[in-house]
Structure 1
């Protein structure tokens, strides 16, 4: 029996579920998935009982319950310090926390304009003007990190919390054909080809079509 349970929603649509799942996988915690469909009224009521914010993911580990993605990251980092969820270098570690927090609390126009949908591809997609500054900011963040480190992830050879936080953006850029320069495209392709991302994507593509996309990100 698994030591922990991670409550998640649709693997095709739920970017926050993806982030929490990646963090758990990266930490090495032994966990079972507990999928719920927030479109179902009974499941939405269950989510409300589990998590006051009606949000996924939610991690239960023994008597501990954590339902905010960054809180999950910090909890897993404290519990499994050898997993290397944050960079060892204090300057890079602070930078990692800052850009992870920026993704956690910002980019609202990007979320609305380019919802995560792993089953969809748009050869040409007109991004409304409000989302363009968010896209450019993501590009700047990635470039600054890749200029500082040696890649292939944002802070070096190993993925960190920052890569988990920005992984859904890589899927969005692919889905909506957002143009990237060579360096940034190489990073996005590396994340999309990451074994954990392939595992998640395969499961997302296998989801039944009956799952309905929500109007807000979850």
Structure 2
């Protein structure tokens, strides 16, 4: 990748504190090894409400690169995988690659009860938090996905020693579990710690903590 290409890459994002989809798009760029110029949308509450309460196909995050404008996190993942095959954003083996795509699609389109019950917030940490019963099946399903992957591929990431698209997709969920002190199995607790210690994740979290408190917090973040 040339310097000119790197300078030409722009990622439009929303709040680093609250926007799970922005985090996913940014992590995908990090996985690809693509340095981007961040373009943050206006931080007024009305704009943020419009962005975050819409579907994951809203135009944030949006990657602009080499003449292409790509939104929706899975579209960004596939585009970057095509542009940077040497980054190995998806597992090399066919069955594992299909598995990775499947669980990434599942988090992309589902778990709405979890999203509404435990909105992403990187500035708070609860020691206990009541989780309404409707979110429990979502938590149990995510635990099952993580446990299966960690057992099948050996960890510490979902598909082995190196992070993949799936880890970028589930990273905001791991932060939610930590924020709201959700009780998990030991392997899933360890996976949350792996995500927290992942270098790009630490960089994003630090930027979130430095973000000014000029937006009202929403009850729901999709």
TM-score (norm 2): 0.91
Contact 2:58–2:71, Cα closer than 8 Å, also in 1? no
Matched, 1:77 2:84: no
1:52-201 map, 5 Å: 54-201=58-205
Contact 1:5–1:60, Cα closer than 8 Å, also in 2? yes
Contact 1:4–1:32, Cα closer than 8 Å, also in 2? yes
Secondary structure in 2 aligned to 1:34?
strand
**Is the deviation greater in 203-212 or in 92-101?**
203-212
Measure how far apart 1:31 and its partner are: 1.3
Contact 1:6–1:34, Cα closer than 8 Å, also in 2? yes
Following superposition, which runs of at least 4 residues in structure 1 exceed 4 angstroms of deviation? 40-45
Measure how far apart 1:183 and its partner are: 1.1
Find the counterpart in structure 1 of residue 54 from structure 2: none
Structure 1 residues 189 and 63, CA gap change in structure 2 (3 angstroms): same
Matched, 1:13 2:18: yes
Measure how far apart 1:209 and its partner are: 1.3
Secondary structure in 1 aligned to 2:64?
strand
**Is the deviation greater in 96-105 or in 183-192?**
183-192
Unaligned ranges ≥5, structure 1: 48-52
Alignment deviations for residues 8-65 of structure 1 (CA, whole Å, 9 cap, x no partner): 00000000000000000110113110011353567899x8xxxxx5441000012100
Q: How many Å separate the matches in 2 of 1:216 and 1:74?
A: 27
**Is the deviation greater in 33-42 or in 81-90?**
33-42
Q: How many Å separate the matches in 1 of 2:59 and 2:116?
A: 17
Q: How many Å separate the matches in 1 of 2:74 and 2:33?
A: 17
Unaligned ranges ≥5, structure 2: 52-56
- Which of these residues, 15, 30, 34, is aligned with residue 29 of structure 1? 34
Secondary structure in 1 aligned to 2:127?
coil
Figure out how many residues of one structure are paired with residues of the other and give that number.
213
Find the counterpart in structure 2 of residue 50 from structure 1: none
Alignment deviations for residues 172-196 of structure 1 (CA, whole Å, 9 cap, x no partner): 0000000112111111101111111
Q: How many Å separate the matches in 1 of 2:181 and 2:42?
A: 28
